[in-house]
Homo-oligomer: A and B are copies of this chain.
Amino acid sequence: MEFTRVAKDTGCQARLGKIKTPHGEVSTPVFMPVGTQAAVKALTPEQVRGLGAEIILCNTYHLYLRPGHRLIADLGGLHRFMNWQGPILTDSGGFQIYSLGALRKITEEGTTFQSHIDGSRHFLCPESAVEIQEAFGSDIMMCLDECIAYPATREEAEKALGRTARWALRCRNSHRSERQALFGIIQGGVYPDLRRRGVEEIAAIGFDGYAIGGLSVGEPKELLLENLAATAPLLPEDRPRYLMGVGTPEDLVEGVYHGIDMFDCVMPTRSARNGLLFTNGEKVVIKNARYREDGSPIDSTCDCYTCQNYSRAYLRHLYVAGEILAMVLNTIHNLRYYLRLMERIREAIRGDRFRDFRDGFMRERTV
């Protein structure tokens, strides 16, 4: 993997870049649609690509349990399995296992957990997390980290930080495949000084990219922004910076402002399935009776297939009637909204006017 910085905004930390992977190039800042179980929910890979997506994320926890990494490897790897020929980033499973709560137990060696599908017991450690992702053939792999809940005491955060660093070293040492990049993850809870220490320890090991993990896990927005602002600029400049699992359109703009290059989030796809549609103005709750006879598109400024061809009245009808096509059309719109936002962001940085863009964007959203 190669990362090239193409431009830097002079008014803030925002930067424009290119990530070169064995499966193609990615323009950053980038949003990665989530394909949890080897499918971006409701869409074909061609539809995802057609929306402007250059890279997608898949979840190691889910694919390890079902259908299993060996099966995927036997069938030619994840790209071939799911028919996505562009780059794929896989997470390590750390966050999903943390989310299992009582169903997991973490020791220095690794994590024992029970499958949410059938209750079967499994063990995941830094070495196997890398091995599984190598079997997938992911272009970008993530280190296994230890997430903590919010709120967590400083002590807990410090402990998880230390373990995450030791695990990162074990991941690095077990990494074999040269065609696959490996990213380190910074933990540290909502304690900016711990985040700083995290950056130092993880960067000292040396990775192809660096991620901020454990934000957007329930903390107030101010703490997210404070820790983001404290951490992002410390990450090595010559490597991609990835804010994991974040977030709202506003979060993306803020993240870029502070120098983040990569994002992923289920928000656009999950909201779509719940009938919540993004626009530059208010969010559209498509089932609302007010859209019953509304012949206009979700967003008249949107260039997506859904907005070009369907009325709110039709989308409401599909949603209320429980049609699968509602999920398809809504997902197309929301993903396009996110990906188009990233296009606008990249254009603003290219024009060295991202600070203005961000201020305007935030003003619009709070009106």
- Quick check: A293 and B75 within 8 Å, CB to CB? yes
Q: In the assembly, what is the distance between CA of A327 and CA of B43, in Å?
A: 11
Chain B's nearest CB lies how many Å from the CB of A294?
A: 9
Which of B67, B314, B325 meets A44, CB within 8 Å? B325
Q: Which chain A residues numbered 322 to 344 have a C-beta less than 8 Å away from chain B?
A: 323-325, 327-329
Q: In the assembly, what is the distance between CA of A82 and CA of B317, in Å?
A: 10
Interface residues, chain A, CB within 8 Å of chain B?
37-39, 41-44, 66-67, 71, 74-76, 81-83, 292-293, 295, 305, 309-311, 313-314, 316-318, 320-321, 323-325, 327-329
Residues of B within 8 Å of A71, CB to CB, are: 292-293, 313
Q: Which residue of chain B has its CB nearest to the CB of A322?
A: B37
A-B contact pairs, 25 of them (CB 8 A): A37-B321, A37-B323, A38-B314, A38-B318, A39-B318, A41-B323, A41-B324, A42-B324, A42-B325, A43-B325, A44-B325, A44-B328, A66-B317, A66-B321, A67-B313, A71-B293, A71-B313, A75-B295, A75-B311, A75-B314, A81-B311, A81-B314, A83-B309, A324-B328, A328-B328
Residues of B within 8 Å of A44, CB to CB, are: 305, 325, 328-329
- Quick check: A320 and B75 within 8 Å, CB to CB? no
Chain B's nearest CB lies how many Å from the CB of A8?
A: 39
Chain B's nearest CB lies how many Å from the CB of A277?
A: 17
Residues of B within 8 Å of A74, CB to CB, are: 293, 295
Residues of B within 8 Å of A313, CB to CB, are: 67, 71, 75, 81
Q: Which residue of chain B has its CB nearest to the CB of A295?
A: B75
Q: In the assembly, what is the distance between CA of A339 and CA of B261, in Å?
A: 46
Residues of B within 8 Å of A305, CB to CB, are: 44
Residues of B within 8 Å of A311, CB to CB, are: 75, 81
Most B-side CB within 10 Å, residue of A42, A67, A82, A316: A67
- Known contacts A75-B293, A311-B81, A324 near B321 by CB under 8 Å: no
- Known contacts A323-B39, A325-B41, A310 near B83 by CB under 8 Å: yes
Q: In the assembly, what is the distance between CA of A8 and CA of B207, in Å?
A: 72
Q: In the assembly, what is the distance between CA of A67 and CA of B294, in Å?
A: 12
Residues of B within 8 Å of A37, CB to CB, are: 317-318, 321, 323
Residues of B within 8 Å of A327, CB to CB, are: 324
Chain B's nearest CB lies how many Å from the CB of A344?
A: 26
- Quick check: A67 and B324 within 8 Å, CB to CB? no
